[in-house]
Amino acid sequence: MAIERRFVENGIRSARVEQYLAKELKRAGYGGMDMARTPLGTQVTIFAEKPGIVIGKGGKVVRDITTALQNEYGIDAPQIEVQQVENPAFNAQIMAERLANSLERGWYFRKAGTSILRRVMESGGLGCEVIISGKLTGARSRVQKFTEGYIKHSGEPSETIVDSGYAIAIKKLGVIGCQVKIVPPGAQLPDHFEIIESDKKGEKGAKHAFSAEDLSEDALGKEIDAEMEAAEDVPEEEDF
Which pLDDT does position 223 carry in this prediction? 65
Which pLDDT does position 103 carry in this prediction? 93
Whole-model pTM: value is 0.72
pLDDT along the chain (240 residues), means of 10: 80 88 87 87 89 88 90 87 89 92 92 93 92 89 92 86 91 92 86 71 57 58 65 50
Which pLDDT does position 93 carry in this prediction? 92
Name the nearest CA neighbour of 78 among 15, 33, 138.
33
Which pLDDT does position 206 carry in this prediction? 58
| Positive or negative: CA dihedral 31, 36, 42, 43 | negative
Q: 1-85, superfamily in CATH?
A: K homology (KH) domain (3.30.300.20)
Which pLDDT does position 221 carry in this prediction? 63
Residue type, 192: H
The answer to whether the CB of 167 falls within 8 A of the CB of 94 is: no
Which pLDDT does position 217 carry in this prediction? 58
Give the containing element (helix H, strand E) for 47: strand 41-48
Q: 89-183, superfamily in CATH?
A: Ribosomal protein S3, C-terminal domain (3.30.1140.32)
Name the nearest CA neighbour of 150 among 116, 178, 186.
186
The domain segmentation of the chain, as residue ranges, is 1-85, 89-183
| CA 112 – CA 100 distance, rounded (Å) | 9
Cα dist from 118 to 53, 79, 136, 148, 176, whole Å: 28, 37, 21, 9, 21
Which pLDDT does position 196 carry in this prediction? 77
| CA 20 – CA 68 distance, rounded (Å) | 10
